[in-house]
Amino acid sequence: MADILVPFEQEGTKAVVRAWLKQVGDAVAVNDPLVELETDKVTQEVHATAAGVLAEILLDTDAEAVPGTVLGRLGEATAAAPEASDGEAESGLAISGDVPTAAPAPAQAAPGALSPSVRRAVQQHGVDPASIAGTGRGGRLTRADVDRAVANRAAPASPPVTPEVAQLAGVRTIPHDRMRVAIAQNMLNSVTVAPHVTAVFECDLSAITAHRRKYKAAFEEQGAKLTFTAYFVAASVEAMRVAPTINSRWFDDRLEVYADVGVGVGTALGDEGLVVPVVQRAQTLSLLGVASALTDLTARARARKLTPADMRGGTFTISNHGVSGSLLATPIIINQPQSAILGIGKLEKRVVVREVDGIDTIQIRPMCYVSLTIDHRVVDGHQTNGWLSRFVEVIEGWPLDG
């Protein structure tokens, strides 16, 4: 027997069994998808590490799947039964059993390529699988693909109107999906357990705007999009040097401060929520390296092709909420068990006073508000302001040829 184990997920997330793709007794080849797990961030498939048959299912649909838990077990494949004689085949009797069984119906080509979970879903909702783009391995259709297609269809019939909303027209009910419920639970947990405090600084983006203008085309030639976020990641790494406790995680019995800086970058998926892929070991990367990593992670996030490994190892998070027009958001909820999260507001040209040769001058500069929300159990205002001061200093002093 070989155990089928729940992989280790991103810290702080809870996985549930979404659907088994094989049933007990089904033959399994190496790398066959066996079961779909879902967290608040991604849906992943657990694949077979050995050939055999699915002998046992221990965690069924909707069961909580703790990392390392046994989901089920694979057994050795049994020898194939000898072929039945013509008479036995006509009678529909198996050689080794006494119970008559009906001959299996021929599988249709398209549905035959679908997992049992997906087959049930398309039949239940009357969806044509050929009309849905698959995001699984090799373009295979997953249960999440079907769920999205069903959700995007015409709005369901209006639900019964309760007295409280009897005077409101156009009411429709949108059931919470698992990702939204998990996000809600994580957000509530974070503000419940951690005292959030936010400090806000102004930041002049003139230097990085000029640098980006000069090097954007060169980065694109190497397959990397030079976004402002790449500079924010690099400046965050530098700021950790003056306040290393910001790069930490709080646990009930200890605080872990890390040498590696794993920077999670919030990436919106429209109405489907938010994912936070991680730029791993950002302190080892050049600006080009950071830009390349962000280009890859963002593309795969929007194509729904992130893996749990892409979400793991975050020690700090950036929320670039300004891309949607927000000037300031506070507090931005900390991604537990991390100790802080950086918020970047909308870039906006503003009139500022700058001293030139000892004389105050009025200038127009590209400005934004940057905020650092911290877990006050971990750090105080001194470290918070020191971190932000260094962050702003790096951004505003970025060398044109650096």
Active centre residues (catalytic)? 376, 380
Quick one: which of 354, 182, 136, 379 has its CA closest to 275? 182
Residue 281 per-residue DSSP state: T
Distance, in Å, from the CA atom of 150 to the CA atom of 147, rounded to the nearest integer, reads 5
Distance, in Å, from the CA atom of 117 to the CA atom of 283, rounded to the nearest integer, reads 42
Residue 21 per-residue DSSP state: S
Residue 338 per-residue DSSP state: B
Quick one: which of 103, 157, 342, 79 has its CA closest to 233? 342
Q: Where are the beta strands (DSSP E) in 15-162?
A: 15-20, 27-28, 33-38, 43-47, 52-57, 64-65, 70-75
Cα angle 368-383-327, degrees, rounded to a multiple of 5: 15
Strand partners, 70: 5
Quick one: which of 340, 284, 280 has its CA closest to 316? 340
Question: Judging by DSSP bridges, how do beta strands 316-319 and 359-375 pair with one another?
Answer: unpaired
Quick one: which of 248, 394, 236 has its CA closest to 315? 248
Distance, in Å, from the CA atom of 157 to the CA atom of 58, rounded to the nearest integer, reads 38
Q: State the CB neighbour count (10 A cutoff) for residue 110.
A: 12
Q: Does the bond joining 159 to the residue before it have cis omega, within 30 degrees of 0?
A: no
Tell me, what amino acid is at 136? G
